[in-house]
Structure 1
Amino acid sequence: MGKRQNAPAGEAMSELEMLAQQAIVAAGDDVVVALLNVLAKNVELERELALSRAAVSSGFSRGWHKGRL
């Protein structure tokens, strides 16, 4: 994933690139702050996912919970 994605024909930017630009603008054009915000949100979502894994049985989730890569 380390490379920039090419946008489909006829589009100026890929969806991920547009989302990245929005995150940077929301952080006052500070790329480091934007990255820190995204990483903080990721930690929060991983914590919520871990809680859901503990609360939901593996039978109910039907194998959706896989090991981390």
Structure 2
Amino acid sequence: MNKQGTFDLPAAPEAATPAEGDLELAVEQAIEACGGDAREAVKALLVANGFLENEIAELRAAVSKGYSRGRHAAQRDRKE
């Protein structure tokens, strides 16, 4: 939190990319959490990602374009 009481967010997604060592640790933790089965870890992460994408879509729909100052474009239909 900064002096104004708000959070500083990275300007671009690349700025939020974890360090290589952190990413490897996260991979190991995800696989371990799924009993050592990498396929199950991938499935769990895909389910979690889908949940987060739905949350983002709901939040975008709830925030007006004026309030967000046009920082988010209208959600386009995704091809599955």
Structure 1 distance, partners of 2:22, 2:59, is 28
1:2-47 per-position Cα deviation (integer Å, ceiling 9, x unaligned): xxxx84xxxxxx1111111100000000000000000000000000
Please give the TM-score of this superposition, normalised by the length of structure 2: 0.62
Structure 2 distance, partners of 1:42, 1:17, is 18
Is 2:47 the counterpart of 1:59? Answer: no
Q: Which runs of 4+ in 1 moved over 4 A?
A: none
- Per chain length, whose mean CA-contact separation is higher, i.e. which structure has more relative contact order (CA < 8 Å, sep 6+)? 1
Structure 2: runs of 5 or more not aligned: 1-18
Q: 1:11 aligns to what? A: none
The Cα RMSD (Å) is: 1.9
Letter of the structure 1 residue corresponding to residue 72 of structure 2: H
Please give the TM-score of this superposition, normalised by the length of structure 1: 0.71
Name the % identity.
Answer: 46
